[in-house]
Structure 1
Amino acid sequence: MEIRVGPVAVNYMEHGSGRPVLVLHGAGVDHHETEACFEPMFDGVAGLKRIYLDLPGMGRTIAPETLRSADDVLDTLLSFANEVTGGNAHLLIGHSAGAYYAQAMAARRATQVAGLALVCPLLPGLRDVPEHRVIAGSEEIGDDDFRSYFVIHTPEMLERYERYVAPAAALVDQAALERIGARWALTPDHTPPYAGPTLVVAGRLDSTVGYAAAADLVDHYPHASVAVVDDAGHALPHEQPDLLRALLAEWLARVERSLRV
């Protein structure tokens, strides 16, 4: 599916019906990774329309020359959200760079966001990022990208990487990502912190963004549950799906309770 917002034709996929849930992937991949990771976690959950989109410059969403900064991407995402939700209350889930944008979207449209979930979020002020290390499996399987992304090196994880992650590399517009990345810092927003039900999940072994900055968010969001998961890196949604599903289920229950108040 495709919808045009300003100069950008955003490619996306929908599943189910009901309250919209926008799911944003990280850098260098496309919606197939988040779809593969999160869609099984919504199995048996009724009343939610899951929307997986390709961020500009990735997948099949082309980033025109007019997109020159993270602020431009954020404007596109806010317009996309308005189009696909009709301005109604929706949920936001982001992984990595997708969480960076989801956090900003919730801050700017707090009254329209019913819940916010940030998984291995890219955040300003990253610190104490650990060195990469493998905790299970062979260090000899897969390519360099697989070995630096996953901390669990098993045939199952390699199959997921080759099926849902690696194919997106051929679709990445590297020039667009470099252009946007040169101005990756979003303009500071001085609105109060998002006050809705929030979930933050980080991998203790995440050698891409670490976990320290994510853990700090427990003091930023007034209604946040924060989990730092051992035996997981930046590929946490692949490596710890059962635990992430349980955390998302608890978050969804909090969202429903807040909507009934």
Structure 2
Amino acid sequence: MDIPTRTTVVHYAEHGSGVPVLVLHGGGVDHREPQACFEPAFDGVPGYRRIYPDLPGMGRTASGPEIGGAEDVLEVLLDFADRASGRAPYLLAGHSAGAYYARAMALAAPQRVAGLALVCPLLPGDAEVPEHRVLVPGVQSEDRGFTQYFVLHTRGMLERYERFVAPGTQLADAQAMERIGRHWELPAAAPSTYEPPTLLVVGRQDSTVGFAGTMRAAADFPNSTLAVLDGAGHALPHEQPLLLRALLVDWLARTRRGAG
């Protein structure tokens, strides 16, 4: 499905009905990765309309020269969220770069975002990351996309990479991503806190964004659960699906209590 915004047409997939939940993917992939990782959390939890957009320049969402940096992407996502949700309050989740934009969206429109879940969030100015370390060696692969993303090199993880991650990388617009990447950092926002229920989840072995920055950022979210999961890198949604599901289900329950 597609929704036109002021600068591009956003392609997305959706499931279910009820409270809108927008889920944003990370850089260089498309909606299929978070769809595979987040949908299990909604199994047996009715009343949610899950919306998975392709970010500009990725998947089937185009990114022309008018989208020249992160500020333009943020404008597209805020416009899309308004249109997709029917301008009703919505829940918002993101992984990696998707979490970077989700955080900015929540701070820009806290009255619209009724709950926020950030998984392995990219944060500006945070270079405190551990070295990449494979915890469970197993299958051999020459694909650095897999070997540098996952810390569990099992047959099951490789199959998930090949099924849910790699296809999206083939659709990414390299020129658009390079153009946006040159201006990826959003302007520093005024110090503020976000009050609605929040979930912060990071991998102890994440060599892409680390975990220390997210622990510091937790102070901006006074009603948050912070979880640092051992045995997970940047591919945490694949490597620790049961723990992630439990944390997401708890987050959904907290947003329901807040709405009630």
Q: Which residue of 2 aligns with 1:180?
A: 180
Task: Specify the SS of the correspondent of 1:137.
Answer: coil
Q: Which amino acid aligns with 1:106?
A: A
User: How far did residue 221 of structure 1 move?
Assistant: 1.0
Q: Which residue of 2 aligns with 1:35?
A: 35
User: How far did residue 140 of structure 1 move?
Assistant: 2.3
Task: Specify the SS of the correspondent of 2:170.
Answer: helix
Of stretches 214-223 and 151-160 in structure 1, the one that deviates more from structure 2 is: 214-223
Q: TM-score, normalised by structure 1?
A: 0.97
User: How far did residue 218 of structure 1 move?
Assistant: 2.0
Q: Which residue of 1 aligns with 2:94?
A: 94
Q: Which residue of 1 aligns with 2:158?
A: 158
CA-atom RMSD in angstroms = 1.0
User: How far did residue 127 of structure 1 move?
Assistant: 3.2
User: How far did residue 139 of structure 1 move?
Assistant: 6.0
User: How far did residue 20 of structure 1 move?
Assistant: 0.2
Q: Which residue of 2 aligns with 1:4?
A: 4
Q: Stretches of 4+ moved more than 3 A in 1? A: none
Task: Specify the SS of the correspondent of 1:152.
Answer: coil
User: How far did residue 58 of structure 1 move?
Assistant: 0.3
CA distance in 2, matches of 1:208, 1:121: 10
Q: Which amino acid aligns with 2:182?
A: A
Q: Which residue of 2 aligns with 1:250?
A: 250
CA distance in 2, matches of 1:192, 1:210: 23
Q: Which residue of 2 aligns with 1:57?
A: 57
| 1:176-215 paired onto structure 2 within 5 Å | 176-190=176-190, 192-215=192-215
Q: Which amino acid aligns with 1:183?
A: H
Task: Specify the SS of the correspondent of 2:227.
Answer: strand
Q: Which amino acid aligns with 1:121?
A: P
1:217 aligns with 2:217: yes
Does the CA-based 8 Å contact 1:132-1:148 persist in structure 2? Answer: yes
Size of the aligned set, in residue pairs, is: 260
Q: Which residue of 2 aligns with 1:227?
A: 227
Task: Specify the SS of the correspondent of 1:214.
Answer: helix
CA distance in 1, matches of 2:63, 2:221: 32
User: How far did residue 214 of structure 1 move?
Assistant: 0.7
CA deviation vs aligned residue, 1:6-52 (integer Å, no higher than 9, x gap)? 12010000100000000000001000000011111110111000000
Q: Which amino acid aligns with 1:145?
A: G
User: How far did residue 125 of structure 1 move?
Assistant: 2.3
User: How far did residue 188 of structure 1 move?
Assistant: 2.4
CA distance in 1, matches of 2:221, 2:124: 16
CA deviation vs aligned residue, 1:118-147 (integer Å, no higher than 9, x gap)? 000000121320111111132623522100
Q: Which amino acid aligns with 1:155?
A: R
Which residues of structure 1 form unaligned runs of 5+? none
CA distance in 1, matches of 2:188, 2:210: 22
Task: Specify the SS of the correspondent of 1:123.
Answer: coil
CA distance in 1, matches of 2:215, 2:91: 21
Q: TM-score, normalised by structure 2?
A: 0.98
CA distance in 2, matches of 1:57, 1:150: 24
Which residues of structure 2 form unaligned runs of 5+? none
